[in-house]
Amino acid sequence: MAYKDIFNMIPIRPPKRFQSSIDVKSDRLRKGGLLKDQFLFAPDICIPENEIVPSSSQSTNDTTNNSIALTKRILHDDYNESISTLRRSKRQTSKQLGITKYKSATSFDSFIERQCEDGLEARHTGTIKGRGVYTTKKFFRNDYIVEYAGELLIQSEAKQREILYGRNHDIGCYMYYFKWGEKLFCVDATEETNRLGRLINHSRKNSNCQPKVFVVRDQPRLILVALRDIEIDEELFYDYGERRKDIVESFPWLNE
């Protein structure tokens, strides 16, 4: 499956306030009284949607889970190899990666590492979109919202998986491609889990959050950050970034 062009990198400014004093406190304790030297960088990210299968049953059914299990078995050897490649190549400096470093006073890594999904719940939207994620607390602009959690893959493996997933129309599109340094990676969140980032729907015109790459222990993690203040009971949306004409014509909701 093809992917769209990656946009320029857009740095995000660290939030001016701490999102939660509890998180900051635990982070300080963990790191011996110091906030870790960390940085944010934010290449724009895209999800290839050219094989989106609009499905009402994206899904907990056995067929889907079996397909995923089968795919993983088939790809098992490649998977081990690709992840070890990833690990081998991870020790690049930010200069090599061409990434601007931003020291942040606020630590997002504690949110990521403890899989924080506070203030969110999944509900059925009652529309063709299927499930969506809604807020149960207020978020402020630049707040951490949730991780787009899944398996980190290199591009070649992700493409192989997509071919297999594409054979099963019960499998929805949960592959999230992004550029990190000079390389393309993908977070595959196809497997049904209880993580919420994978359930956030698309809006081009009314997105209220935005994907960013955040590095934890030298590994890129995808997170969603609030674009503006978000009130309780709002559905979360981000722009999937797909602009290819043929794809958008096939899935007109990408323009909404």
Ligand X SMILES: C[S@@+](CC[C@H](N)C(=O)[O-])C[C@H]1O[C@@H](n2cnc3c(N)ncnc32)[C@H](O)[C@@H]1O
Query: Which is nearer to ligand X, 39 or 253 (by Cβ)?
Result: 253
Min separation Cβ 173 and ligand X, Å: 4
Query: Which is nearer to ligand X, 43 or 132 (by Cβ)?
Result: 132
Residue nearest to ligand X (CB): 130
Beta-bridge mates of residue 219: 216
Min separation Cβ 216 and ligand X, Å: 22
User: Rounded CA gap, 216 and 13, in Å?
Assistant: 18
Min separation Cβ 130 and ligand X, Å: 3
- HEC readout, 82-103: HHHHHHHCCCCCHHHHCCCCCE
Give me the residues that bind ligand X (CB under 6 A), please: 52, 54, 58, 128-132, 172-174, 198-199, 201-203, 253, 256
Listed residue (166, 185, 162) closest to 46, CA to CA: 185
Query: Which is nearer to ligand X, 27 or 170 (by Cβ)?
Result: 170
Locate 34 and state its tokens: 């110091």
Beta-bridge mates of residue 121: 134
Query: Which is nearer to ligand X, 52 or 222 (by Cβ)?
Result: 52
Min separation Cβ 234 and ligand X, Å: 15
Min separation Cβ 85 and ligand X, Å: 26
Collapsed DSSP state (helix, strand, coil) of residue 186: strand
What is the maximum span of the chain, computed from C-alpha positions, in angstroms? 54
Tell me phi and psi for residue 24, to 5 degrees: -65, -40
Query: Which is nearer to ligand X, 119 or 130 (by Cβ)?
Result: 130
Query: Which is nearer to ligand X, 112 or 224 (by Cβ)?
Result: 224
Question: What are the helix (H) ranges across the chain?
Answer: 21-30, 62-74, 76-88, 94-97, 109-113, 155-166, 245-250
Min separation Cβ 92 and ligand X, Å: 29
Q: Quick one: how far is CA 174 from the chain centroid?
A: 9
